[in-house]
Amino acid sequence: MAVSRNTEHSHSETVWERVFGQLSRHDLVLTAIPLVFATALLVTAVLPVPFLASLGAGALTSAGLLVDALFVHPPVDAGPR
């Protein structure tokens, strides 16, 4: 017997969809900040870039992320549940 798999319940969530479906924009910003500094350290190790220059670029990028998360797209109160 042939069974159609094109039903409304046939879509199974992938792990990627489950994880990123639960994360908010602010969770991603908090994850990105240490990644920015890790990237700055990696750039210093691989390229002939001064440590303070890459650290400064990482700090400016992180500050931009914080300004975006706090002032441009601020967290809002969902109200009573």
pLDDT at 14: 84
pTM of the model: 0.70
In a domain, 17, yes or no: no
pLDDT at 5: 60
Number of domains in the chain: 1
Please give the residue range of the domain that contains residue 63. 41-75
* Higher-pLDDT residue of 22, 58: 58
In a domain, 32, yes or no: no
In the numeric block, the tokens 């046939």 are attached to 10
Do residues 70 and 56 touch, judged by C-beta distance below 8 A? no
In a domain, 68, yes or no: yes
In a domain, 25, yes or no: no
In a domain, 70, yes or no: yes
Q: What are the pLDDT digits (tens) for 35-64?
A: 999 999 999 999 999 999 999 999 999 999
In a domain, 63, yes or no: yes
